[in-house]
């Protein structure tokens, strides 16, 4: 009974923490939207100013993310992540997931799926502020989002993952959660973000190191921007 109460408490705290972090994430990215908000006509001339501003706010937010993750891990523990795999196994799994991502990126355009609203918004931003948008999407977003969607998520949910089926369930739920924050789960393009999220989640779960999922997220966003 006490174990069940502790688990429910962890889930509730996890949900609240992640939603607060997502809100703060959006707040930290306000400099990206400032040109449009304050009505600057020639936004290209001011891109470097907003790059500096969003870098400062993002660094502060990343520090907060790392502090929150470390605090949660100290309190709840995560034996699965603490037992790191060998370097050979890590690179093998990263290679497998890298190949999976490339296959996904080749297949995805062949499937006639309406462009998600999130991608349309990025395209519009690229027309007005290409350098700023590329910097945020390729450099900042992979770091910030992987810390939230992978490290923080798996600290609170599916933290044990000793059972292979529990790992699979965690990866699927994580992928759907990732998709739900990028587009509607009822939209035709939902599967794109869901599969993408599952690839990143599988990378994190198998390598037990967020830097590998960040690397794949970086590669995916770079190809999308190009």
| Average per-residue pLDDT for the chain | 87
User: What is residue 45's predicted lDDT score, i.e. its pLDDT?
Assistant: 66
What band does 2 get if pLDDT is binned at 50, 70 and 90? low
| In the chain, domain spans | 2-225
User: What is residue 218's predicted lDDT score, i.e. its pLDDT?
Assistant: 96
- Average pLDDT (97-116) is 86
Comparing CA positions, the residue from 183, 176, 179, 180 lying closest to residue 118 is 183
> Tell me: the pLDDT tens digits for 35-67?
766 666 555 667 788 889 999 999 999 999 999
Q: Under a CB-based contact definition with an 8 Å cutoff, are residues 148 and 22 in contact?
A: yes
pTM: 0.90
Tokens, residue 96:
């497998």
- Whether the pLDDT of residue 103 is over 70: the answer is yes
Tokens, residue 24:
């703060």
At residue 77, what are phi and psi to the nearest 5 degrees?
75, 160
How far, in Å, CA of 96 to CA of 90, rounded?
A: 10
Q: Under a CB-based contact definition with an 8 Å cutoff, are residues 25 and 144 in contact?
A: yes
Residue 60: alpha-carbon gap to chain centroid: 17
- Whether the pLDDT of residue 213 is over 80: the answer is yes
């Amino acid at each position: 009974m006490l174990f069940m109460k502790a688990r429910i408490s962890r889930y509730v705290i996890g949900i609240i923490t992640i939603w607060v972090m997502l809100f703060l994430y959006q707040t930290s990215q306000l400099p990206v939207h400032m040109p449009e908000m304050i009505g600057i006509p020639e936004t290209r001339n001011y891109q470097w100013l907003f790059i500096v501003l969003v870098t400062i706010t993002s660094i502060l937010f990343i520090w907060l993310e790392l502090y929150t993750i470390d605090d949660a891990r100290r309190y709840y523990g995560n034996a699965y992540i603490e037992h790191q795999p060998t370097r050979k196994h890590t690179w093998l799994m990263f290679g497998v997931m890298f190949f999976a991502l490339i296959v996904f990126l080749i297949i995805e355009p062949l499937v006639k799926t309406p462009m998600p609203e999130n991608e349309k918004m990025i395209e519009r931003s690229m027309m007005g502020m290409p350098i700023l948008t590329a910097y945020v999407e390729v450099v900042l977003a992979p770091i910030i989002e992987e810390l939230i969607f992978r490290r923080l998520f798996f600290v609170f949910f599916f933290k044990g993952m000793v059972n292979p089926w529990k790992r699979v369930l965690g990866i699927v739920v994580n992928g759907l959660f990732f998709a739900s924050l990028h587009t509607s789960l009822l939209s035709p393009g939902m599967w794109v973000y869901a599969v993408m999220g599952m690839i990143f989640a599988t990378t994190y779960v198998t390598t037990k190191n967020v830097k590998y999922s960040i690397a794949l997220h970086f590669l995916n966003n770079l190809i999308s921007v190009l």
